[in-house]
Chain A
Amino acid sequence: EVQLVESGGGLVQPGGSLRLSCAASGFTFSSYEMNWVRQAPGKGLEWVSYISSSGSTIYYADSVKGRFTISRDNAKNSLYLQMNSLRAEDTAVYYCAKELELRPFSFDYWGQGTLVTVSS
């Protein structure tokens, strides 16, 4: 059974940093592209970042470019999101999402999400 379990969310002050983790199991993690998608309270889904299976190709949404860094450790079956210079508008539930093989921007499995709250 595919499982994605996010952790690392919490309350952080504006300008602060947070590192999210996503532990993957039930599939060959190193073979699949992964993404982070967020959802602000009461709002829609917003794509945040993508990383290829090897980690060699990375994309970011304009809203987080220069502040967030996506990475992965295939040996540990883990995906990460380092978030720096956090702003109030980054407050959201952050989901890690597995990309469907050979179907870009199609996400067949999602974690349960971890809430990040940016507030003083």
Chain B
Amino acid sequence: QSALTQPASVSGSPGQSITISCTGTSSDVGGYNYVSWYQQHPGKAPKLMIYEVSNRPSGVPDRFSGSKSGNTASLTISGLQAEDEADYYCSSYTSSSTLGVFGGGTKLTVL
């Protein structure tokens, strides 16, 4: 099972909005609404930011939002803050025997 495709890096200035894409296939992203997004700061464990495409766990700021169109999911962060600088990973449930797959990760730099 190939990893979902994410851009290697994105950047934005404080206060701006950025979007990270996550492209899969009809067997994963396009076929199910079980797309999640994780934030990972250096040396730390990943943190769930979005689940089921667009749902935020308790405690996650509403500056973080998710969406999906066809085989591509997106994470949008509005009002960028310095602490948003981190690696972001998407994941999706898949119909294959491997159960699920992660994206390759996107490094967000806040300029």
> In the complex, are the beta carbons of A106 and B48 less than 8 A apart?
yes
- Which residues of B come within 8 Å of A, CB atoms? 1, 3, 34, 36, 38, 40, 45-48, 51-52, 57, 89, 91-94, 97-105
> In the complex, are the beta carbons of B45 and A106 less than 8 A apart?
no
> In the complex, are the beta carbons of A105 and B99 less than 8 A apart?
yes
Kindly list chain B residues whose C-beta atoms are within 8 Å of the C-beta of A50. 99
- How far apart are the CA atoms of A40 and B36 in the complex, in Å? 21
- How far apart are the CA atoms of A46 and B98 in the complex, in Å? 11
Query: Would you list which residues of chain A between 61 and 108 have a CB under 8 Å from chain B?
Result: 61-62, 95, 100, 103-108
> In the complex, are the beta carbons of B100 and A104 less than 8 A apart?
yes
- Which residues of A come within 8 Å of B, CB atoms? 37, 44-47, 50, 59-62, 95, 100, 103-108, 110-113
Interchain Cβ contacts within 8 Å, total number:
70
- How far apart are the CA atoms of A37 and B101 in the complex, in Å? 11
**Residue contacts A-B, CB under 8 angstroms, 14 given:** A44-B104, A45-B89, A45-B91, A47-B99, A62-B1, A100-B48, A103-B34, A104-B34, A104-B93, A105-B92, A105-B99, A106-B36, A107-B48, A108-B48
Kindly list chain A residues whose C-beta atoms are within 8 Å of the C-beta of B45. 95, 110-113
Question: In this complex, what residue of A is CB-closest to B87?
Answer: A44
> In the complex, are the beta carbons of B57 and A108 less than 8 A apart?
yes
- How far apart are the CA atoms of A59 and B48 in the complex, in Å? 22
- How far apart are the CA atoms of A73 and B81 in the complex, in Å? 42
Give the residue among B34, B45, B51, B97 with the most A Cβ atoms within 10 A.
B45
> In the complex, are the beta carbons of B97 and A59 less than 8 A apart?
yes
> Known contacts being A44-B89, A44-B105, A110-B45, is A103 close to B51, with CB within 8 Å?
yes
> In the complex, are the beta carbons of B102 and A44 less than 8 A apart?
yes
> In the complex, are the beta carbons of A59 and B46 less than 8 A apart?
no
- How far apart are the CA atoms of A106 and B89 in the complex, in Å? 12
> In the complex, are the beta carbons of B98 and A106 less than 8 A apart?
no
> In the complex, are the beta carbons of A105 and B100 less than 8 A apart?
yes
